[in-house]
Amino acid sequence: MGTYLRPKSLDDALEALRASPWVILAGGTDFYPARVGRALDEDVLDITAVDGLRGIDDAGDHWRIGALTTWTDLLEAPLPASFDGLKRAAREVGGVQIQNAGTLAGNLCNASPAADGVPPLMALDASVELASADGRRVVPVDRFVTGNRQTQRGPNEVVTAIRVPKRPDATVSTFLKLGSRTYLVISIVMVAITLEPADGTVGRIGISVGACSPVAQRLTRLENDLTGAPLDNDLIGRVKADHIDAVLAPIDDIRGSGAYRQEAALVLVRRALSEVAALAGGSA
Amino acid sequence: MNVTVQPLELRVNGKAVTVHAGPATRLADVLRGELGLTGTKIGCDAGDCGACTVLVDGRQQCACLMPVGQAAGRAITTVEALAAEDGTLSALQDAFLRHGAAQCGICTPGMLMAARDLLDRDAGPDEAQVLDALGGVLCRCTGYRKIVEAVLDVAGTAPALARIANGRAVGARLARTDGVAKVDGTEAFGADAAPPDALTLRVVRSPHARACFSLGDFGPIEARYPGLAAILTWRDVPGSNAYGIYPVGKDQPVLAMDRVRYRGEAVVALVGDAQTVGSIADDMLPIDWFPEEPVTGMAAAAREGAPQVLDDKPGNILTQGFVKKGDIEAGFAEAAFVAEGSWTTRFVEHAYIEPEAGWARRVGDRLEIGVSTQTPYMDRDEVAHVMGLDKEQVRIMPTACGGGFGGKLDMSVQPLLAVAAWKLGVPVRYVYTRPESMAASTKRHPAEMTAKAGCSADGRLTAFQFHGDFDTGAYASWGPTVADRVPVHATGPFHVPNVLNTSRALHTNAPPSGAFRGFGVPQAAIAHEALYDDLAEQCGIDPLEFRLINALRAGQPTATGQVLEASAGLAACLEALKPRWQALRAEAEAFNSLANGPFRRGVGVGCMWYGCGNTSMSNPSTMRIGVDRAGRLTLYNGAVDMGQGPNTIMVQIAADALGVPAEGFRVIMGDTDLTPDAGKSSASRQTFVSGKAVQLAGEDLRGQILRRANVGPDAVIAFGDGVVRLTDGGSEHILDLRDLDPDDRGNVLSGEGTFDPPTAPLDENGQGIPYATYGFAAQIAAVSVDTELGVVKATRIVAAHDVGKAVNPTLVEGQIHGGIAQGLGLALMEEYVPGRTENLHDYLIPTFGDIPPIETIIVEDAEPLGPYGAKGIGEPALIPTAPAIFGAIRHATGVVMRDAPAIPSRVRAALRAAGWGG
């Protein structure tokens, strides 16, 4: 058995990380599953007792989601409609047992290609706040996650919060997940969209697709092509297969072929767009 | 370890406790180990199954995912806290009992805790809330619906049936006799019952599907780890290092000698304290591997010049099956319509929520083994065989079995525990991890089937031809049973004059395929039902009517020439379904006629028959009922209850046969020193075979009592206070039990009954009487198909089953629901890939949200040989579901699924090929 440290202050946690590498543990929902049937012999830094890391705060121009905020905390927080997509993702993370323990920040740090939290946070232009004994920095989510199980977090850093920029009140969002069963399912494809309507047209829009690439991807060309388009019946017709295929080259695996994922991603992007357009008061 | 572990203060079930485990230890391990609260179950250690759900500050969490260090200072609530101090069950627990919401009971504590969390927040939840709140707990037995009913009815007042009038137990919805222990956390499963001083055994398994290996010097590792009691290899197996189900199939080593044939095969066993054996990683052992190209899939196995998996199986053929009746060519020549096709199914994993587990200890020159098993007597004989002991030197004491479904008919932990405990002379325990369970245990056989059927212009079947290849994996296991059963059943439950059915079981370097609810018949049913849908369409006859025209009826010969004299209830099942069929088909067609979106609805029907008991082999059961001097009744029930209910229905049958109330019985289950051999809990045989044996035992005991008291056959008897009171007409008689001499079980009277269902061997054409009776059923499935994504969602199942007589309708419904859930999994999501899906998040079984409302219709076409007319239901429940779902997909879209499971990408590919968009 390794050392287990559960500091009460962030400074103590950062001090420990400065001295030596630790496995950082919060909700445990990824830590333990990766260690089934083997000894727990690593040095573990349990950050769940660190003061001030849990909860969602209004920080002026953005919302600050503390690193220990669980999926259930998010679901129970009164937040604007721009968070509805993220909340839908929260309901799809494991069962309620997992939602009660697992954290949004942990979901980012685990960096699974099928992480439910990544597409909605990307579509919200969220960023990640990191701290080390040497200082703090903020990295956009789409740059923070760099590959399958890889992130920008350095060995002496800890994620302290996720920052979500505030949006106009009219902003709407959604999240769609495709899997082979109802609960407890790993995505075949997922799509998140955040839409700011602008006078009956698409204003700012964020569209991201998960489980179709090592890291979820924003569909920036599609976003550009849709910006300014009227929220009408022709909207979803503007989404072409090439918008997906040019960005994503999903692999074949037990959950579905790459070709199927591409096709399904197109269907889900259109359906999600139709949903947010309807939420925004358009007719699509 | 570089820190001293500080004691932690926890608050568990309202009491302050101090624990000494390391703070990173899983809370589940601390609750179960240090605190002895074994009501919290471990099914996966990965948050996938929810069996370990406890409340932390009132909210449900997986105890396997929480370091005990985080639990300090928080309120932990486990299942043990649900009942009152005096044992009175809470309303929630009582609702679970009333509704039959617990079958094997292994998921029940997790279900109860998740429900407690919900109900504490909202006393009157709706169904959607129940599904969401409990959706993180997996159940493999119940099909979830009765759990939903129980939570919604927590405030209900319908009493649990514990008391039944004399002679009225058979047919009553008696609560499970073992139910209280399943809802209060006291039931002891394989991992719960080991002696406290037991050492831990861990097995190093092959990472390769096919390889040679050599073992190096274990001296250095033994020297480095003083906590290691032994490293066991094949050299330590004292008897035969080869076991297997059939006398000719003893081909599987306890520990491999120098060659492995599948990934997950046992190579070396480590025995010592838990910490030590857990900290020795596989790659720390001196094993030199020489991997070879494995034989993967049946095409590779059957290829000319393919490497042999087993030296004595040329062509990789384990066995072949054959049934021939009439003149197949003439049958097709007279057919007005012919349909044919090919179908494929994949490996399916049993995924019982309780991984294999048990313990063993040496007692003098005997071995005692406590184990989760479906077949104590076969285990006894097999352990004796590998140990070189006499059978009488081995005692198997089955623990509660947390789900079996055929997977616990093969040995798992038993021989390894026996070798270790015998050699070391100390108790040893062994619990599979979830990945180990999935890699090492048997699977449902993948099938590659081609079939052809013909009928006359008016829809009467004239000919049926079938060939199925079945991937039986690396060792024989139950492969011969599958190869034998399939040709007998492959026509489905229909009258066909001309039949030619063949099968082969082929060896590959995959996990052994063994017994799994239906022994190949569920796979074959997918083929025959698809052909009958084809023929019905060609004839222009409604699919259900087509089946009614051809339904096998009493007086007609089967494919093996057996004429069923009674209890052939398929036609009655179809007639019972007809109103729902017509209504649901019309609803679906009305929806589709207006549909302009991607969704289409469909309704299909699947039929099945299933022979109860072993195929053309003797499979007797003996049951015993004893009365002690105090007048207490004990049922010696050798029929292991893995959740399906023998502990309850055997009591019901015994009570009626003896003429006493059902609540008076103590039940001893399956202990090979105490109970007679009732055979294995498989082949849907226990209700029929052991049920008859217990009826005979009850009648025997009653007869003895009536004779001793010299009273007439209608006398009413009552036990108590050392006497039997008999009332015969107006006269009272007393039989004083205290005057009688007890036997070595302490009984002064005992009744015994034996039943062996009459069968006859199959001749060279497969003609004969393979089974004494058959279960029949038909199910309707309604589905919604998302034609753009290929997602199929079942929306309703209506199931009609001829069970002869429902001894306990609640338990029969429970079997039907659970079978449907497994059939739905086979149809839509379950696919085991060795090395890739060895956990419960990559291997998908149905969850709460996947099982639609189920309507059950029980048809009772009495079987004259069965107890009070009863026959089996365990396997019949599963078989029709996948064909019904595939028929529904066809009705919705016109597409025939030929490759199971119908996961979204396969459905979408089939839709695309049929011209559906894209």
Give chain A's domains with CATH numbers. Answer: 4-49+56-165 (3.30.465.10), 172-279 (3.30.390.50)
Question: In one letter, which amino acid is A183?
Answer: Y
Q: Are residues B530 and B502 in the same domain?
A: yes
Contact B433 A37 (CB under 8 A): yes
Question: In one letter, which amino acid is B481?
Answer: T
Q: Are residues B704 and B751 in the same domain?
A: yes
**CA–CA separation, B515 and B404 (whole Å):** 10
Predicted confidence at residue A281, as pLDDT, reads 87
Whether B329 maps to a domain, the answer reads no
Nearest CA distance, A199 vs chain B (angstrom): 29
Q: Are residues B626 and B609 in the same domain?
A: no
The separation between the first and the last C-alpha atoms of chain A, rounded to the nearest angstrom, is 58
Cβ contact B506:B472 at 8 Å: yes
DSSP B503-558: EEEEE-SSPPB---TTTTHHHHHHHHHHHHHHHHHHHT--HHHHHHHHB--TTSB-
Rounded to the nearest 10 degrees, the angle between the axes of helix B145-152 and helix B108-121 is: 40
Helix (H) or strand (E) holding B589: helix B570-594
Cβ contact B609:B775 at 8 Å: yes
Contact B48 A184 (CB under 8 A): yes
What is the total residue count of chain B? 918
Q: Does the pLDDT value for residue B157 go beyond 80?
A: no
Last residue of a domain, one of B383, B409, B431: B431
DSSP bridge pairs for B470 = B447, B505
Tell me whether strands B366-371 and B59-62 are parallel, antiparallel or unpaired. Answer: unpaired
Q: Does the pLDDT value for residue B918 go beyond 80?
A: no
Q: Does the pLDDT value for residue A170 go beyond 90?
A: yes
Contact A182 B833 (CB under 8 A): no
Alpha helices in B169-237 (DSSP H): 179-184, 219-224
Whether B544 maps to a domain, the answer reads yes
Predicted confidence at residue A1, as pLDDT, reads 66
Instruction: Convert the pLDDT of each residue in B250-306 to its tens digit.
Output: 999 999 999 999 999 999 999 999 999 999 999 999 999 999 999 999 999 999 999
Instruction: Convert the pLDDT of each residue in B427-442 to its tens digit.
Output: 999 999 999 999 999 9
Residues of B in contact with A4 (CB under 8 A): 3, 22-24, 67, 69
Query: Exposed e or buried b for every residue in B732-746, given b needs 16+ CB within 10 A?
Result: ebebebeebeeeeee
Instruction: Compare all CA atoms of chain B with the CA of A37 and give the residue at the minimum distance.
Output: B433
Cβ contact A209:A265 at 8 Å: yes
Tell me whether strands A172-178 and A189-198 are parallel, antiparallel or unpaired. Answer: antiparallel
Whether B288 maps to a domain, the answer reads yes
Of the candidates B567, B578, B502, B406, which has an alpha carbon nearest to the alpha carbon of residue B765? B502
Q: pLDDT grade, residue B164 (50/70/90)? A: low
Contact B850 A182 (CB under 8 A): yes
Instruction: Convert the pLDDT of each residue in B341-361 to its tens digit.
Output: 999 999 999 999 999 999 999
Predicted confidence at residue B2, as pLDDT, reads 42
Cβ contact B569:B859 at 8 Å: yes
Q: Are residues B208 and B286 in the same domain?
A: yes
Cβ contact B434:B355 at 8 Å: yes
Q: pLDDT grade, residue B156 (50/70/90)? A: confident
Whether B326 maps to a domain, the answer reads no
Q: What letter would DSSP give residue B479?
A: H
Close Cβ partners of B166 (under 8 Å, ≥ 6 residues apart): B655, B659, B660, B661, B716
Instruction: Convert the pLDDT of each residue in B753-799 to its tens digit.
Output: 999 999 999 999 999 999 999 999 999 999 999 999 999 999 999 99
Going edge to edge, which strands form the sheet with B599-611?
B599-611, B774-786, B791-802, B854-859
**CA–CA separation, A120 and A174 (whole Å):** 8
Of the candidates B770, B779, B757, which has an alpha carbon nearest to the alpha carbon of residue B859? B779
Question: In one letter, which amino acid is B134?
Answer: L
Predicted confidence at residue B917, as pLDDT, reads 85
Cβ contact B342:B321 at 8 Å: no
Q: pLDDT grade, residue B89 (50/70/90)? A: very high
Of the candidates A204, A186, A211, which has an alpha carbon nearest to the alpha carbon of residue B46? A186
Percent of chain B residues topping a pLDDT of 90? 97
Question: In one letter, which amino acid is A122?
Answer: M
Which member of B67, B114, B842 has the closest CB to residue A254?
B842
Predicted confidence at residue B5, as pLDDT, reads 73
Q: Which of A48, A54, A181 to mutate to test the interface with B (most CBs of B within 10 A)?
A: A181
Which member of B66, B844, B918 has the closest CB to residue A185?
B844
CATH at residue B58: 3.10.20.30
How many structural domains does chain B have? Answer: 5
**CA–CA separation, B868 and B167 (whole Å):** 12
Instruction: Convert the pLDDT of each residue in B50-70 to its tens digit.
Output: 999 999 999 999 999 999 999
Distance of alpha carbon B358 from the chain centroid: 18
**Arithmetic mean of pLDDT over chain B:** 96
Predicted confidence at residue B158, as pLDDT, reads 65
Q: Are residues B543 and B676 in the same domain?
A: no
Contact A178 B60 (CB under 8 A): no
CATH at residue B409: 3.30.365.10
Residues of A in contact with B829 (CB under 8 A): 180-181
Contact B59 A100 (CB under 8 A): yes
Sign of CA dihedral A237, A238, A242, A247: negative
Whether B490 maps to a domain, the answer reads yes
**Arithmetic mean of pLDDT over chain A:** 96
**CA–CA separation, B607 and B128 (whole Å):** 31
Q: Does the pLDDT value for residue A112 go beyond 60?
A: yes
SS3 state of residue B660: coil
Name the pTM for this structure. Answer: 0.98
Contact A188 B905 (CB under 8 A): yes
**CA–CA separation, A120 and A109 (whole Å):** 15
Half-sphere exposure of A40 (CA within 13 A, CB side): 25
Predicted confidence at residue A249, as pLDDT, reads 87
Cβ contact A25:A45 at 8 Å: yes
Sign of CA dihedral B414, B419, B424, B430: negative
Percent of chain A residues topping a pLDDT of 70? 99
Instruction: Convert the pLDDT of each residue in B178-187 to its tens digit.
Output: 999 999 999 9
Q: Are residues B745 and B773 in the same domain?
A: no
Cβ contact A111:A151 at 8 Å: yes
What is the total residue count of chain A? 284
Q: Give the residue with greater pLDDT, B249 vs B689.
A: B689
Last residue of a domain, one of B431, B452, B479: B431
Alpha helices in B733-842 (DSSP H): 809-828
Cβ contact B357:B191 at 8 Å: yes
Whether B298 maps to a domain, the answer reads no
Q: Are residues B667 and B592 in the same domain?
A: no
Whether B123 maps to a domain, the answer reads yes
Q: Does the pLDDT value for residue B3 go beyond 60?
A: no
Instruction: Convert the pLDDT of each residue in B648-668 to its tens digit.
Output: 999 999 999 999 999 889 999
Predicted confidence at residue B726, as pLDDT, reads 96
Predicted confidence at residue B6, as pLDDT, reads 86
Q: What is the mean pLDDT of residues B901-915?
A: 97
Predicted confidence at residue A282, as pLDDT, reads 65
Whether B867 maps to a domain, the answer reads yes
Q: Does the pLDDT value for residue B1 go beyond 60?
A: no
Predicted confidence at residue B663, as pLDDT, reads 87
Question: Beta strands of B287-327 (E only): which ranges?
Answer: 287-291, 317-325
Residue B837 dihedral angles phi and psi, to the nearest 5°: -125, 45
Nearest CA distance, A212 vs chain B (angstrom): 14
Which domain range does residue B696 map to?
A: 621-755
Contact B67 A28 (CB under 8 A): yes
Please count the residue pairs, one from chain A and one from chain B, whose beta carbons lie less than 8 angstroms apart. Answer: 172
Q: Are residues B740 and B783 in the same domain?
A: no
DSSP bridge pairs for B59 = B56
Tell me whether strands B498-507 and B461-473 are parallel, antiparallel or unpaired. Answer: parallel
Contact B45 A36 (CB under 8 A): yes
B579-B580-B581-B582 Cα dihedral, nearest 10 degrees: 50
Residue A192 tokens, joined: 């998140």
CA distances, A207 to each of A271, B12, B673 (Å)? 12, 46, 67
Cβ contact B817:B145 at 8 Å: yes
Q: Does the pLDDT value for residue A283 go beyond 80?
A: no
CATH at residue B126: 1.10.150.120
Alpha helices in B179-273 (DSSP H): 179-184, 219-224
**CA–CA separation, A192 and A88 (whole Å):** 10
**CA–CA separation, B51 and B49 (whole Å):** 6
Q: Are residues B386 and B500 in the same domain?
A: no
Last residue of a domain, one of B737, B755, B773: B755
- What ipTM does this complex have? 0.97
Answer left, alpha or beta for residue B439, where phi above 0 means left and psi between -120 and 50 means alpha.
alpha
Q: Are residues B71 and B31 in the same domain?
A: yes
Alpha helices in B645-723 (DSSP H): 646-658, 691-709
Residue B309 dihedral angles phi and psi, to the nearest 5°: -75, -45
Query: Exposed e or buried b for every residue in B361-371, given b needs 16+ CB within 10 A?
Result: bbeeeebbbbb
Which member of B44, B45, B50 has the closest CB to residue A97?
B50
Residue A178 tokens, joined: 């495709």
Instruction: Convert the pLDDT of each residue in B838-880 to its tens digit.
Output: 999 999 999 999 999 999 999 999 999 999 999 999 999 999 9
Rounded to the nearest 10 degrees, the angle between the axes of helix B91-99 and helix B145-152 is: 140
Tell me whether strands B716-720 and B723-728 are parallel, antiparallel or unpaired. Answer: antiparallel
Residues of B in contact with A40 (CB under 8 A): 22, 24-25
Residue B112 tokens, joined: 């109860």
Contact B65 A46 (CB under 8 A): no
Predicted confidence at residue B243, as pLDDT, reads 97
Q: 10 Å Cβ neighbour count for A125? A: 18
DSSP bridge pairs for B769 = B760
DSSP bridge pairs for B607 = B778
**CA–CA separation, B508 and B518 (whole Å):** 21
Q: Are residues B749 and B768 in the same domain?
A: no
Cα angle B401, B650, B370 (rounded to 5 degrees) comes to 30
Distance of alpha carbon A204 from the chain centroid: 19
Cβ contact B433:B357 at 8 Å: no
Which member of A36, A180, A267 has the closest CB to residue B46?
A36
Q: Are residues B178 and B217 in the same domain?
A: no
**CA–CA separation, A227 and A222 (whole Å):** 9
